[in-house]
Amino acid sequence: MHQVAAVAGATHIVFAGLFFELGAAFLGWVNVGSVLMFALSYLCLRRRWNMAAVGLILSEILLHAILAVRAIGWDSGFHYYLILVAPIVYVSRTGALPKAALVGTVFLCHLLLDHAMKATAPLYLLEPHTLTGLRYFNVAVSFLLLSYLSGHYYGLIKDSERKLRELATTDPLTRLLNRRSWLELAEYELVKRRRQPEPLALVLADIDHFKDINDTHGHLAGDAVLQAVSEVLRQSVRQQDSVARWGGEEFMVLMPQATPETARLVAERLREKIGQLRVPLDSGESLAVSMTFGVSSHQAEEAIEAPMRRADAALYKGKAAGRDQVVLAAA
């Protein structure tokens, strides 16, 4: 709506100059008034007085169309701007019933103008070629404004869809995949593997002594550690791998086309990079972090839960053996 007010105000500045040039001073001043109304609606929007702003915008469009058509005739094409009311109303924050009522009211005004003004002589008689040029200009501007509003609205929808998809598929703290999305990818990889057998590995990782970090430094420090570790994992896995926050301080990596040895080497690289990590705290301190990794591979026609259990067993074996290490599960 901010952009509607700004674009419409700029358009009426052009109209004001055009009418003063044509000698129709009355319409020139009408457009000056329109610019002021759009400026006022913009200020209302800045203060979040949305209903007042929408009312100003719709009133201006309706009054301007009526005055312009009465002044220079139906053939001037100013009634085309009434069509712009529909998208403006439907992107505003009003209920469904008021929107339908407003659009219906403007539609009736258009019908009444059509009935009354076609047979009424205009107040200002323009040269035929000037009137034709003005009508074409109004058609072009209406089309461009409608296209602009439609394109902008489409962009808002796509952006909303992207945000909703991101919320549905990622963990809000770490921006990694969530558990459900990871499982969907894993099932897809199993389907591919049935058609064309290729190695598939899993890596389950856990931050060492994470509870102590929360208890000693607080949950904000724990969140900072999770975010820092997530960024290292995201940047350090292979391009075809998928990393998810599995729950709490655990992370799961899906590694298509990776043998157990390849997955072990990647996990070892991740362990080393995490070991180099220093997470700054608000107190000025920095935390060193380590992780333990369990690696397994998918076998034959088994469900994805089987290698997940083996990776989990390997992980806890590594924790029992002193943490900060990579353990490869037996097949």
* CA atoms of 9 and 42, how far apart (whole Å): 9
What is the DSSP-derived secondary structure letter of residue 330? P
**Angle in degrees, CA 81, 10, 158, rounded to 5:** 75
* Known catalytic membership, residue 249: yes
* CA atoms of 42 and 57, how far apart (whole Å): 9
Q: Tokens for 45? A: 């929007």
Residues 6+ apart with CB under 8 A from 139: 77, 80
Long-range contacts of 74-77, Cβ-Cβ distance < 8 Å, separation of 24 or more: 74/113, 74/114, 74/117, 74/118, 75/131, 75/132, 75/135, 76/122, 76/126, 76/131, 76/134, 76/135, 76/138, 77/134, 77/135, 77/136, 77/137, 77/138, 77/139, 77/142
Residues 6+ apart with CB under 8 A from 7: 145, 148
Q: Is 233 strand, coil or helix?
A: helix
Q: Is 77 strand, coil or helix?
A: coil
* CA atoms of 180 and 271, how far apart (whole Å): 25
* CA atoms of 308 and 297, how far apart (whole Å): 9
What is the DSSP-derived secondary structure letter of residue 150? H
Set 184, 249, 301, 305: catalytic member: 249
Neighbour count for residue 298 (Cβ, 10 Å): 24
Active site residues: 249
